[in-house]
Every structure is written in structure tokens, then in C-alpha cells.
Structure 1
Amino acid sequence: MGMPTDIGVIDCMLGIPEAEDRGDWFESFKPLIKDEETLKQFSMPAQYMFKDIPESGQQDDYTSWVVEQMDKHGVERALVGWNENETSRRAKANYGDRFFFDLPIDPNGGVNEIRRIRRIHDEVGLSALSCFPSGTVPQVGIDHKYMFPFYSLACELDIPFCVNAGIPGPRIPMAPQRVELIDEVCWYFPELKLVMRHGAEPWEDLAVKLMLKYPNLYYSTSAFAPKHYPKAIIDYANTRGADKIIYAGYFPMGLSLERIFRDMANVQFKDEVWPKFLRENAMRVFGLKD
């Protein structure tokens, strides 16, 4: 049958631009970047990996522009990073039925960061916490002691924790995101719903082994065009992992929705996997309601 077209897709990684110039999207980890090409020529930190990066053009309302793109491609709802600014507040106020929010956290922030998360969760009703370990300054690994209070908090709030895993696209050290670091976290926090982001490459086979081992470990396809989904992940979804693989895009950070869904039609998922991949797994893991 191939990819169905009658499913309200849940996209578990999408962004809303602040302006036509998106250079501030990697401002937080610029201190880690040393090469001149990234600093002086790139509009996004892993630009060498992507071609045809979507351009928003000048928009009066960037949130409405994003929703228009979602409507064109059957994306019903999307997980967006919460920023304490007018864009996020407008998205929640005007399109609360279209967006749900994760909060990017800084594990170096200690107890003050814990307080910030609690305050925002009380105000917003977060659906997840997230972290880019290689992009923390200084870098903090997936299994570092600084991360453990935030995993505990995610368990307490009963929301997932999304974490980048595998070699990062930006030209910064990879050590904080080695996939084997996930093992101790899942062992110590059996209640934690942990969602891997950004591919887990080149350790995708290990990611599959860990998902077989731990019931609450998941994989999202963020930052990969469907034609580049790892074979190990497709094979796992088609066998024992149909409930573990979650669709996430990367629009407009690096991929257009047009490119994603054009490629998606060629992914060799079994018919019964598609509804889970495009919608049902996200609804369950992130606690969404119809």
C-alpha cells in the first residue's frame, strides 16, 4: 500500500523562525565552534550536510506561515521547542491545537534550571524536556551526573526526555552523544521515557539493541530526509520495533516538508507500521489527546 495519505501526521521536531535571518539558532553553542566556515558562512550549524535549506522569506507572522506549510502536507500537530518569547507565546495562544512543546534544558544550570523548568511547566504544560549534549557549554554527556536531576524531573512530571544521540552535525566534539551512554540512564531510570533524536549514527545497530533491551527507549527520525533513514531502523520498525519509531522532521531548520514527504513515499515500511510511525506512537509517548 505504501504511505497512507489520510493520517493526521504528528511531527515530533519542527521549528518556528523568529525572523528571515536564522543565525541565532546556534548562538548558544557558538563558543564550541572553531572553524571559520561555520562561523562566517553557515546560516545553520550543519549546513554542509544539507542542501536546499528552506527559506521562509520575510513574513508578517512566521507562526502562521509554519502552520500553512503544515496544512499543505497533512501535518496535524508538531512538537516545537519552547522559548520564552513572543513567538512561542503566540504559537500557544493562537494555535494551541496545532503545537505542543518541549523545553530545551541546560544541565549546567543546576537547581536554578530545575526551578525554571517547573515554572515553565506550570505556565505552559510542557510535553517533553530536551537536550543537545554536544551543544551544552561546557559539554555534558548523556550519562553525566549533571543530567540525572533532569531525568528525575522528567519522571516526576511524567513527560518524555528527548536527547540527541550519535555524531552531531555541527563541527563540535561527539563524545557526549555516544549511544552506549544511554544504557546506564535507561537502567537507572526505568520509568523514564527517553526519545533519541538525530539518528544515533554510526551506532544505529546499538540503538536498536538498546531499544530491544529497554521498554521506554524510543527513536525519532529528526534531521534525516526519509531516503537516508538507517536500514537498521526501518528493519526494526518492520519487525519488533513498530511501537518504538516516531516520525520527526527538521523543518525549517534543514529540510522542507515538501522534501520530507516526497521522499517518505519510498520508505519501505509495512502497511501496519505507517499509522504508528506517523501518529500513534507520538500520541502515546507524548501523552497527546485527540
Structure 2
Amino acid sequence: MNLAELTAIDMHVHAEIGEDGRTSLPGELLDASAAHFAAHGRRSPTVDEIAVHYRERRMAAVVFTVDAEHATGRAPIPSEEVAAACARNADVLIPFGSVDPWRGAAAVRAVRRLAADHGVRGFKFHPSLQAFDPSERRFYPVYEAIAELGLPAVFHTGQTGIGAGLPGGGGIRLKYSDPMLLDGVAADFPDLPIVLAHPSFPWQEEALAVAVHKPSVHIDLAGWSPKYFPPLLVRYADSLLKHKVLFGSDYPLLTPDRWLADFAALDLKDEVRPLILKENAARLLGLSGAG
């Protein structure tokens, strides 16, 4: 990966379909998510197709799936498969793994195996979809393993489009994605880089407070068009958190083209834009040439 030639690093891209054609989520949850993002009729790309999309734009992308088998009863797209596809496209793709935290010791072993044998560069969690409270100490061994590896952990925060509009929200509970649940994790694992994924509606101020207070905590801006960002988030991204805010699109639900077009209209200092688009992510990921 040639960092100098990249225009941006998208920290939040989903692998939603496996090589066997199986989707990452049950159909009703995928449909609800597509409706929430007005993405009906948009075909989920394979990881190799994601690579083409980003290569054409001279961007890199962090790609992951979510293992929520305990909560959904659905076997995930294997992180090993995602990592192998990213390895085929290492000029533009960076693999993150996912483990179901309910698997306990098996999840800890999976973390170490995915890093050692498959080259994943971080891990993604979705507390609402995976139906777990990330502050509970029963899940701490998973974080401890990730911290020992020196890798970042991305946690979905705020409302989720998954299940939106379904009866009972598809049974998905938003409370697990309150960013304040990660404040104690950040306190207990100060060496674990944590990314709070998305503008954290309805807990935006809480997310900003945690990111300001805990040096290890970052925020990615995925899943929202920048024109809808809360003004307070924009102000913090332009000042106190300028080294800790990261570009993320949530592709394929929101395209990087749409995100970047709206980002260009934000009132930000010129020196802040390259930090958000590339430099902060490059440093967090330990990419060669990062400052």
C-alpha cells in the first residue's frame, strides 16, 4: 500500500456478502437497513468488487463483517474469508476481524488466530446487533487479547439502521450502543485504541466527552452524510479532536462519493481535512509512512 498515493482512508466498509453468496444478516434485517439508508436495489458488492471501487478512487478501505451468531442464530461471513480477499487486494484493502464476544475463551483464541494467521489489523464489534453490554467484565478477556496485540477495536455506537422500522426494531436494543458504556473499557484498557463508530445519535455529547477525556478513544464519521452532522461534532472535529476523528463512509449503504461531496461543504480548517481523511487513520493503523 503506497500511502503517499492515497487520497483517503475509509475506516468503515462492510463485507455483506460471502463468496458463497450468503449474506451477513437475515434478509429482513438487510432490507430494513437498506430502507433506512434509501439504498433499496443496490447490490451488495463482494470484497474484490469493493477493492475495485476504492482503487478507482485512489482510496484505501478498512473492511469487516460482524459475527453476531449468538444473537441472530446466523453463521457469519468468516473473517478469514474477508482477510484473504483483502490480502488479494492489499494495495487498497485493510482487513479487520470480528468475533462474537459471547463465545468467551473461543473468541479470545479467535482474536489471536485471526491476527497471527490471517493478518487482520483490528476488530469490529456491534453491541446492539451482537446483543451484549460492552462494559460487562465477562467480555474483558477479548479486549485484553486485542490490546496485547496492539490492535484497534471499533465499536458501533448510537442508533443503528439494522432493524429500523421493523416491529420492535427486530428485537435489537439500542442501549448497548451508548458510548458511555465504553468509557470504563477505555479506563481499564488505556493501551487499547478504541474507535466509536458513527455520529452517536442520540448520545453525541457523551461520545465527544469520552473521546476528549480518554487519549485512546477516536471517532469515525461513518453512516451519516456530513451535511447532517451535529454542529457540535463539527466544532470538535475542527479543534479538540482534530487528531482523533476519522473518515468512514459505511459503504455500501453510504458511498464514499456521497460522503466526500458533502464533507467538502463543511466549515473546517484547511489543515484539518487531510487529518480526517487520511492522516489520523494512517497513524492509528500504523501504516508505513504515517506521521
Q: Which TM-score applies when normalising by structure 2?
A: 0.82
2:267 — aligned with what? 268
1:73 to 57, 65, 68: 57
For 2:117 and 2:132, how far apart are their aligned partners in 1?
Answer: 27
For 2:79 and 2:146, how far apart are their aligned partners in 1?
Answer: 23
Distance 1:198 1:146, change over 3 A: farther
Which SS does the other structure have where 2:128 is aligned? helix
1:104 — aligned with what? 98
Sequence identity, in percent?
24
CA RMSD in angstroms comes to: 2.6
- Tell whether the 8 Å contact from 2:18 to 2:24 is kept in structure 1 after alignment: no
Give deviations 1:262-285, integer Å, cap 9, x for gaps: 222212221111111001110111
Which SS does the other structure have where 1:24 is aligned? coil
Runs of 4 or more, structure 1, over 4 Å off, are 19-23
1:120 — aligned with what? 114
- Tell whether the 8 Å contact from 1:20 to 1:56 is kept in structure 2 after alignment: no
1:46 — aligned with what? 33
2:280 — aligned with what? 281
Distance 1:147 1:67, change over 3 A: same
Q: How far is the alpha carbon of 1:89 from its aligned partner?
A: 5.2
Distance 1:106 1:89, change over 3 A: closer
Give deviations 1:178-218, integer Å, cap 9, x for gaps: 22212211111111111001321111111111111111110
Instruction: Give the unaligned 5+ runs of structure 2.
Output: 66-76, 163-168
1:161 — aligned with what? 153
For 2:41 and 2:19, how far apart are their aligned partners in 1?
Answer: 11
1:34 — aligned with what? none
Distance 1:87 1:184, change over 3 A: closer
Distance 1:7 1:269, change over 3 A: farther
1:259 — aligned with what? 258
Distance 1:203 1:19, change over 3 A: same
Q: Which TM-score applies when normalising by structure 1?
A: 0.82
The amino acid across from 1:272 in the alignment is E
The amino acid across from 2:49 in the alignment is W
2:211 — aligned with what? 211
Distance 1:54 1:196, change over 3 A: farther
1:229 — aligned with what? 229
For 2:56 and 2:111, how far apart are their aligned partners in 1?
Answer: 34
Which SS does the other structure have where 2:12 is aligned? strand
For 1:54 and 1:259, how far apart are their aligned partners in 2?
Answer: 17
Between 1 and 2, higher relative CO (CA 8 Å, sep ≥ 6) is seen in 1
1:179 — aligned with what? 179
Give deviations 1:132-159, integer Å, cap 9, x for gaps: 01111xx211201232111111110000
For 1:54 and 1:260, how far apart are their aligned partners in 2?
Answer: 19
- Give the number of aligned pairs: 266
For 2:102 and 2:149, how far apart are their aligned partners in 1?
Answer: 20
Most deviating of 224-233 and 214-223 = 224-233
Q: How far is the alpha carbon of 1:15 from its aligned partner?
A: 3.0
